Amino acid sequence: MADVLVVGRGAPGLAAAVEAAAAGATVRVLDAGTKVGGSSGMSAGVFSAAGTRVQRAAGVEESPDASPRTT
C-alpha cells in the first residue's frame, strides 16, 4: 500500500515522488518504459520557453504563440 502513486519516471514524475517522500508519504512509482527518464531522457534536459522575463531583459521579443510548436 502507498500513500502516493506516481505514474511515470520522467523528470516531473520523479520530482513528485521525491517531494511526496520528503513530506513523509510512502511512494510507489509506475512506468511502462524499461528505462528511467521517460521523454525527459530523450530531451537531454533541454526545454524551450518563449516570452520569459530573461528574454525580455535581453531585448528578445518572442511570445509563446509565435514560438515553433514541436508537439
Position 45 scores a pLDDT of 67
pLDDT tens digits for range 26-69 = 999 999 888 777 777 777 767 777 888 888 899 988 777 766 66
Q: 27 exposed, middle or buried (CB, 10 Å; 0-12, 13-18, 19+)?
A: middle
Residues 39 and 14: their CA atoms lie apart, in Å, by 12
